[in-house]
Amino acid sequence: MITRISTFCLLAGTMLMCPLSSMAQPSVVASIKPLQMIAAAVMDGVAQPAVLIPSNQSPHHYVLRPSDVALVSSADVLLWVGEPMETYLASLFSDVEDATTVLEAASLPEIWLQAPGGEQLQEEEARYDSHLWLNSANAMLIAEHLAVELVRRDPANSAAYQSNLAAFQSLVVATQAQIATRLASMRAMEFAVFHDGIRYFERQFGLQNQFVVAPDHESQPGIRHLMEIQALIEQNSPACLLEDINTSMATVNTVLRDLPVKRVPIDPLGDAIVADKQGYARLLTSLADAFDTCMQAP
Ligand SMILES: [Zn+2]
């Protein structure tokens, strides 16, 4: 039906006679930057996806601005991880117009979900680790579902979406193979993480952190917990502590400053990475780079 309208538009020779929906490319709004990067790959050369949560802000705790609400209500397709990470989006996203498509990554069939400790999620468990974009098969799956939706809404650009999807998939497959080779020798490496946000990447590439400094995501750990961390670092002497960029906690810094542990920045949300068609692959590579740095002698 939509194809017939497009053909009619071409034949009529004037866009004024075409219904609005057949003229404009769908507007896509992603909740976080890694999802925006995946969308940017699928939409390359057609349109730019927007992002809600700005770089330097934690997706675990975010307060919506009026401009975010306006952006969401103007979107054709909304792409998000889902609750529990983005609880503040749940009521907004459930209240959108019928014509808006909401793609919730955590609910896609075949998405790989892990329990917070890194094991495969069991059926009865409701709580999953929400950093699911760091499994590259999940990223390809999200891209696939988005492409299907974009082709449905915008058949005129279907060839572009399909070839973009194929290009994204081959880039991700090549990147994950490179990373697997690079990290193969690091499987026994002992390291700690500041925030437990890269378990999907760890599991995919056979790594496992020894302990987490701030278990309750980005909220400030208590002094008692920090003393335990201090003891853990002294006993285990991990090769490094991987710390999310843009995380700044005064107490933590005070406790860690004098400890003999190398601190390596990581960027699992891609705050410092351009959200273009290669952004997602660069995000994965940047995590592999951090493990390299961790391995090298101080
Ligand atoms: Zn997190």
Chain segment 166-180, per-residue pLDDT in tens: 999 999 999 999 999
Read off the pLDDT band of 272 (50, 70, 90). very high
CA of 212 to the centre of ligand 1 (A): 12
Q: For position 12, what pLDDT does the model report? A: 42
Q: Which helix (H) or strand (E) holds 174?
A: helix 158-183
Read off the pLDDT band of 8 (50, 70, 90). very low
Q: For position 143, what pLDDT does the model report? A: 98
**Cα 271 to chain centroid, rounded:** 11
Q: Please list, in sequence order, all residues whose beta carbon lies within 8 angstroms of the beta carbon of residue 111, skipping any fewer than 6 positions away.
A: 105, 132, 138, 141, 142
Q: For position 65, what pLDDT does the model report? A: 92
Q: For position 219, what pLDDT does the model report? A: 65
CA of 5 to the centre of ligand 1 (A): 45
CA of 282 to the centre of ligand 1 (A): 19
207 vs 186: CA distance, rounded Å: 7
Mean pLDDT for the stretch of residues 142-158:
98
Q: For position 185, what pLDDT does the model report? A: 92
**pTM of the shown model:** 0.89
265 vs 25: CA distance, rounded Å: 38
- pLDDT tens-digit profile of 79-100? 999 987 888 899 888 888 889 9
CA of 229 to the centre of ligand 1 (A): 19
CA of 236 to the centre of ligand 1 (A): 24
CA of 25 to the centre of ligand 1 (A): 32
CA of 251 to the centre of ligand 1 (A): 19
CA of 202 to the centre of ligand 1 (A): 14
CA of 33 to the centre of ligand 1 (A): 13
CA of 161 to the centre of ligand 1 (A): 30
Separation of first and last alpha carbons in the chain: 63
CA of 153 to the centre of ligand 1 (A): 32
- pLDDT tens-digit profile of 188-233? 999 999 889 999 999 999 999 998 888 766 567 788 888 888 898 8
CA of 104 to the centre of ligand 1 (A): 17
Cis peptide upstream of residue 34 (ω within 30 degrees of 0): no
Return mean pLDDT, the chain: 87
101: three-class secondary structure by DSSP: strand
Percent of the chain with pLDDT over 90: 59
Bridge partners, residue 28, by sequence: 77
Read off the pLDDT band of 141 (50, 70, 90). very high
Tokens for 77?
A: 């397709």
289 vs 57: CA distance, rounded Å: 23
CA of 270 to the centre of ligand 1 (A): 12
- pLDDT tens-digit profile of 11-66? 444 444 444 444 589 999 999 999 999 999 999 999 999 999 988 888 888 889 99
CA of 272 to the centre of ligand 1 (A): 16
> Any long-range contacts for 284-287 (C-beta under 8 Å, 24+ apart)?
284/134, 284/136, 284/172, 284/175, 284/176, 284/179, 284/201, 285/175, 285/178, 285/179, 287/134, 287/179, 287/198, 287/201
Q: For position 22, what pLDDT does the model report? A: 47
Tokens for 58?
A: 């934690």
Mean pLDDT for the stretch of residues 272-288:
97
CA of 245 to the centre of ligand 1 (A): 12
Q: For position 286, what pLDDT does the model report? A: 98
Q: Judge contact between 263 and 240, C-beta under 8 A.
A: yes
Q: For position 251, what pLDDT does the model report? A: 65
Read off the pLDDT band of 181 (50, 70, 90). very high
Instruction: Name the CATH superfamily, with its identifier, for domain 185-295.
Output: Nitrogenase molybdenum iron protein domain (3.40.50.1980)
Q: Judge contact between 175 and 167, C-beta under 8 A.
A: no
Bridge partners, residue 266, by sequence: 244
143 vs 105: CA distance, rounded Å: 10
Percent of the chain with pLDDT over 70: 88
Q: For position 61, what pLDDT does the model report? A: 80
Q: What share of the chain is helix, strand, coil (3-state, %, to 5)?
A: 50, 10, 40
213 vs 211: CA distance, rounded Å: 7
Residues, CB-to-ion distance under 5 Å, ligand 1: 197
Residue (of 251, 256, 139, 135) closest to 193 by Cα position: 256
Domains of the chain, by residue range, sit at: 26-110+127-179, 185-295
CA of 88 to the centre of ligand 1 (A): 15
Q: Please list, in sequence order, all residues whose beta carbon lies within 8 angstroms of the beta carbon of residue 57, skipping any fewer than 6 positions away.
A: none
CATH 3.40.50.1980, domain 26-110+127-179, yes or no: yes
Residue (of 253, 239, 244, 181) closest to 209 by Cα position: 239
Phi-psi region of 13 (alpha: psi -120 to 50; beta: other; left: phi over 0): left
